[in-house]
């Protein structure tokens, strides 16, 4: 992981969620630094929670304007954020922060009408049954059928960053940052009942094809973007869209992901 340095020429923008807590925190920070607009900035300082940071990252992906983000936790969870308290001024904290590269997933979905959708996911892409009927999915890896039929509530593909989110709740593995791996995790599988999923290289292309889509409709969800009644979904790591999240020394995302494996 390369070293990140903030020169005197680099400019910071403050991006704040609408929550009262974040807005109150922003009032103090606005006086502590000479901020510029997000369009002019080299680095974004994001105030809020994980959800708001993901929103900012997705906006950058949509606009293809990828800038490093330094998050301050003034939200709920804050797994991707830095602690808001510190004796150093914000410019110094950002200057000393360590970069974490994050490759999002690209989901290309086709619905039953033949309409194509493409979205990015930073945490995971999930396939979820839409009705009480069990979803039935064919699973292909790199064009080869690896499972003719998975029956259950669904399945997901998670990045290392997302491996501690929905993936972990579905009993999927925690992936260390830098592992260049993806987690393929079933959601409440009925058959094969004992299948726990798989760990795939980041280079793998995963494809799901829906069996009996009229009777057993399935939705594909890339983080918060949903496509209903899909017939096929293809997922790959979009390494060409690499994002950068900045963390304080000793409080890196890698350390937090490592520590999660020892939670009881």
| DSSP conformation class of 104 | P
| Catalytic annotation present for 64 | no
Distance CA 173, CA 163 (A): 7
Distance CA 39, CA 80 (A): 23
Q: Has 168 been labeled as part of a binding site?
A: yes
Distance CA 49, CA 210 (A): 35
Q: Has 98 been labeled as part of a binding site?
A: no
Q: Has 123 been labeled as part of a binding site?
A: yes
Q: In what order do the strands lie in the sheet with 243-247?
A: 12-16, 43-48, 69-73, 243-247, 98-102
Burial class (CB in 10 A: 0-12, 13-18, 19+), 106: buried
Q: Say how many residues make up the chain.
A: 264
Catalytic residue among 50, 62, 111, 248: 50
Q: Has 164 been labeled as part of a binding site?
A: yes
Q: Has 153 been labeled as part of a binding site?
A: yes
Contact by Cβ (8 Å): 245, 71: yes
Q: Is the preceding peptide bond at 132 cis, omega within 30 degrees of 0?
A: no
Distance CA 106, CA 240 (A): 10
Q: Has 161 been labeled as part of a binding site?
A: yes
Distance CA 236, CA 204 (A): 7
Q: Has 167 been labeled as part of a binding site?
A: yes
- CA-only gyration radius of the chain, Å: 20
Q: Has 62 been labeled as part of a binding site?
A: no
Query: Percent helix, strand and coil across the chain, each rounded to 5?
Result: 20, 40, 40
Q: Has 113 been labeled as part of a binding site?
A: no
Dihedrals φ, ψ of 151, to 5°?
Answer: -110, 130
Residues belonging to the binding site are 50-51, 55, 123-124, 153, 161, 164-169
Binding residues for NAD(+), by number, are 50-51, 55, 123-124, 153, 161, 164-169
- Catalytic residue IDs: 50
């Amino acid at each position: 992981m390369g070293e990140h340095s903030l020169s005197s020429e680099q400019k910071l923008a403050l991006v704040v969620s609408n929550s009262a807590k974040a807005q109150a925190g922003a009032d103090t920070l606005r006086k502590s630094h000479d901020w510029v607009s997000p369009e002019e900035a080299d680095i974004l300082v994001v105030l809020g929670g994980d959800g708001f940071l993901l929103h900012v990252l997705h906006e950058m992906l949509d606009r293809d304007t990828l800038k490093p983000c330094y998050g301050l936790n003034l939200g709920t969870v804050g797994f991707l954020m830095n602690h808001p308290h510190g004796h150093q001024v914000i410019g110094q904290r950002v200057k000393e922060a360590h970069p974490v590269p994050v490759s999002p997933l690209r989901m290309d979905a086709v619905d039953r009408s033949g309409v194509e959708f493409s979205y990015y996911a930073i945490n995971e892409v999930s396939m979820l049954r839409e009705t009480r009927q069990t979803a039935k999915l064919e699973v292909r890896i790199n064009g080869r059928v690896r499972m003719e039929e998975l029956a259950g509530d669904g399945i997901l593909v998670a990045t290392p960053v997302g491996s501690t989110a929905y993936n972990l709740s579905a009993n999927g593995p925690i992936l260390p940052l830098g592992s260049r791996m993806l987690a393929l995790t079933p959601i409440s599988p009925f058959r094969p009942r004992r299948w726990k999923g798989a760990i795939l290289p980041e280079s793998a292309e995963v494809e799901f094809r829906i069996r009996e889509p009229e009777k057993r409709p399935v939705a594909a969800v890339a983080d918060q973007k949903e496509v209903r009644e899909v017939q096929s979904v293809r997922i790959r790591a979009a390494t060409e869209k690499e994002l950068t999240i900045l963390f304080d020394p000793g409080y890196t995302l890698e350390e937090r992901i490592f520590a999660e494996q020892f939670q009881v």
